[in-house]
Amino acid sequence: MTAEIIVVTSGKGGVGKTTTSASLATGLAMAGKKVAVIDFDVGLRNLDLIMGCERRVVYDFVNVVHGEATLKQSLIKDKRYENLFVLAASQTRDKDALTQEGVEKVLDSLSEEGFDYVICDSPAGIEKGAHLAMYFADKAVVVVNPEVSSVRDSDRILGLLASKTRRAERGEGQVTQHLLLTRYNPARVAIGEMLSVTDVEDILGIKVVGVIPESENVLTASNNGVPVIVDTASPAGQAYSDTVARILGEERPLRFIDVPKKGFLQRVFGG
Amino acid sequence: MNAKTETTDACDLRFGQVGIACVRVRRVDAAALCEELERRVRAAPQMFSRAAVVLDLSHLLQLPDDGTVDALLEAVRSAGMLPVGLAYGTSETEALASRMGLPLIAKFRAAYEPAAATPAAETRAPEPVARPEPILAPPEAGHPLGAQHHDGSVRSGQQIYARDRDLIVTGAIANGAEVIADGNIHIYGGLRGRAMAGAQGDEKARIYVSDFRAELVAIAGQYRVFEQIPDDLEGRSVQCWLEGEKLLIAKL
């Protein structure tokens, strides 16, 4: 049984890749899977902050790639789920510190260790780091915001996923592509300030696997080092749970895509 | 010649594409040929010195006799290039090649057969790097190569080129994507990027789109960019064609 490798990518920066990686990994772990999440953003590491393990990083991904530490030493066990592990990026190296052979070795070792899923948190851009993050992927979650520049960058990434991955090069079939719309604000969509779900699906030609509503909970959770999916009361957390379920093959209707109706009290007092 | 050695154990036999220069002889003058090629070799020794070339005799009105061909081959050699075969021409060329013990490069076949029927002297300069002549036959005559198909969408940053033929795309062309064909282009999804038909200069080439939102369309080098897509065309199925120097677009 080999681990399934899922890359979380977008092209554009700041759309919610790391937030998504953290919640996706945590969600899969909540479903009982053994999961490792790797930060490929060497030099600008963030995943450890959002996973709340930044003070426990001793060895990182680059150390393992260079053989300076073993995989066991570098995997940080999550404090909430014992079947969830984080492999942090190095903050002090530059992005050329990763090599294709090195990454392949790490991914193979994770497979041998019995991991079910490896989530690769890609850096922004289409340079080496992003290329390595997607190269070995079986599935891709392309994170997109409802605005034109993000949509165009995602389109570019979808093209690269179809041509510049190991699967494509070996002719082993397509990398399964999932489109995840984040920072969705139904109210702004309604007044035409944001692209709608249908707009984005039309332009990119694929269906979304989930829509994450824009919400303050995301920022609060990130700042507290808690993946937002853990916050089961928040709409964003619930939307991530739905998304994880869909990636695992379940069918769930899209939620949080319409303008929420305000209750009587909210209308009176504002909300 | 070496059929005996072609056993599966001793070697692999593979077809591969190689770039090879083609010397198109326009008049039978070994001395002039040698001089001309020497000049080329001197000008770009890295490119042409000891370069493998094929000799193309199809533009001569009459196939020269064996002795003359020998002299021409010798002229090429003394200029510093290495003739490795003859370009495909008529059955006479084939007979000549077998008498010379040289291979006939069949790759040039498609491009040269129509030329062989009307061996009129062409005024174009010989191209130093050989590639098949574009077939610019109008589409109604039927493209001998058929069309190139692309299933699905063309993503931003991708480029598809159908050389010497039509291009059919079943999906959408995204913003920042490019589809190019030497023949016609048919797009059965949305065109948000660029489409360029008749890339080698075929003015009869056309572009057909079922959902028009293009950034740019071009036919035979005449192009139109759309900062704002006209309301009557946006999202419609259209065709684009060339009338004189004017690129026209109309709803279908």
Asked whether residue A206 carries a pLDDT value surpassing 70, the answer given is yes
| pLDDT (0 to 100) of residue B142 | 47
Cβ distance A205 to B189 less than 8 Å, yes or no, reads: yes
- Whether A213 and A185 have beta carbons less than 8 Å apart is answered as yes
| pLDDT (0 to 100) of residue A84 | 97
Tell me which residue in A155, A163, A202 faces B156 most closely, judged by beta carbons. Answer: A155
Tell me which residue in A152, A163, A202 faces B156 most closely, judged by beta carbons. Answer: A152
Tokens of A100: 């294709």
- B20 compared with A259, residue with greater pLDDT: A259
| pLDDT (0 to 100) of residue B136 | 45
Backbone angles phi, psi at B102, to 5 degrees: -110, 150
Could you count the other beta carbons within 10 Å of the beta carbon of residue A82? Answer: 10
Cβ distance A163 to B158 less than 8 Å, yes or no, reads: yes
Q: Three-state DSSP class for B96?
A: helix
User: d(Cα B211, Cα A132) in Å, to the nearest integer?
Assistant: 36
Measured CA distances, B186 to A8, A70, B197, B241 (Å): 34, 55, 10, 12
User: d(Cα B203, Cα B206) in Å, to the nearest integer?
Assistant: 8
**A15 marked among binding-site residues:** yes
Mean pLDDT over A267-271 rounds to 61
Q: Where in chain B is the domain with CATH 3.30.70.260?
A: 8-108
Asked whether residue A73 carries a pLDDT value surpassing 60, the answer given is yes
Nearest chain B CA: its distance from A6 CA (Å):
21
| pLDDT (0 to 100) of residue A138 | 96
Mean pLDDT over A136-147 rounds to 96
* Cβ within 8 Å of residue B42, ≥6 positions away: none
Cβ distance B155 to A158 less than 8 Å, yes or no, reads: yes
Longest dimension (CA), chain B: 70
Tokens 């497979």, located at residue:
A111
Tell me which residue in A160, A163, A205 faces B171 most closely, judged by beta carbons. Answer: A205
Q: In what order do the strands lie in the sheet with B21-24?
A: B21-24, B52-56, B82-87, B104-105
| pLDDT (0 to 100) of residue B106 | 61
pLDDT tens, residue by residue, A77-107: 999 999 999 999 988 887 788 999 999 999 9
Type of residue at B238: V
For residue B155, the chain A residues in CB contact (below 8 A) are 155-156, 158-160, 162
**A14 marked among binding-site residues:** yes
A:125-154 residues touching chain B, CB 8 A cutoff: 152-153
Best mutation target among A155, A200, A202, A203 (most B Cβ atoms within 10 Å) is A155
Q: Where in chain B is the domain with CATH 2.160.20.70?
A: 148-251
Which CATH code, of 3.40.50.300, 3.60.10.10, 3.30.479.30, 3.20.20.100, is assigned to A4-253? 3.40.50.300
Cβ distance B174 to A155 less than 8 Å, yes or no, reads: yes
Asked whether residue A130 carries a pLDDT value surpassing 60, the answer given is yes
- A126 compared with B87, residue with greater pLDDT: A126
User: d(Cα B230, Cα B218) in Å, to the nearest integer?
Assistant: 17
For residue B158, the chain A residues in CB contact (below 8 A) are 159, 163
Give burial (CB, 10 Å; 0-12/13-18/19+) of A94: exposed
Tokens of A184: 């969705």
| Nearest residue to B24 (alpha-carbon basis) of B103, B96, B123, B114 | B123
Question: How large a percentage of chain A has pLDDT more than 90?
Answer: 83
Q: What residue ranges of chain B have pLDDT lower than 70?
A: 1-9, 15-19, 89, 106-144
The DSSP secondary structure of A68-106, one letter per residue, reads SS-HHHHPEEPSS-TTEEEEPPPSSS-GGG--HHHHHHH
Q: In what order do the strands lie in the sheet with B207-212?
A: B147-150, B166-169, B185-191, B207-212, B238-243, B246-251
| pLDDT (0 to 100) of residue B119 | 37
The residue of chain A nearest to residue B170, with distances taken between CA atoms, is A205
pLDDT tens, residue by residue, A157-190: 999 999 999 999 998 888 999 999 999 999 999 9
Cβ distance A163 to B174 less than 8 Å, yes or no, reads: no
| pLDDT (0 to 100) of residue B229 | 87
Q: Where are the domains of chain A?
A: 4-253
Least confident range of A46-60, A87-101, A206-220, B131-145: B131-145
| pLDDT (0 to 100) of residue B121 | 37
CATH 3.40.50.150, domain B148-251, yes or no: no
Nearest chain A CA: its distance from B157 CA (Å):
6
| pLDDT (0 to 100) of residue B38 | 86
**A17 marked among binding-site residues:** yes
Mean pLDDT over A248-269 rounds to 81
Mean pLDDT of chain A: 93
Asked whether residue A260 carries a pLDDT value surpassing 80, the answer given is no
| pLDDT (0 to 100) of residue B67 | 85
Nearest chain B CA: its distance from A145 CA (Å):
17
| pLDDT (0 to 100) of residue B87 | 80
pTM, full prediction? 0.66
Tokens of A20: 């998504």
| ipTM associated with this complex | 0.70
CATH 3.40.50.12160, domain B8-108, yes or no: no
Cβ distance A159 to B155 less than 8 Å, yes or no, reads: yes
Best mutation target among B156, B170, B175 (most A Cβ atoms within 10 Å) is B156
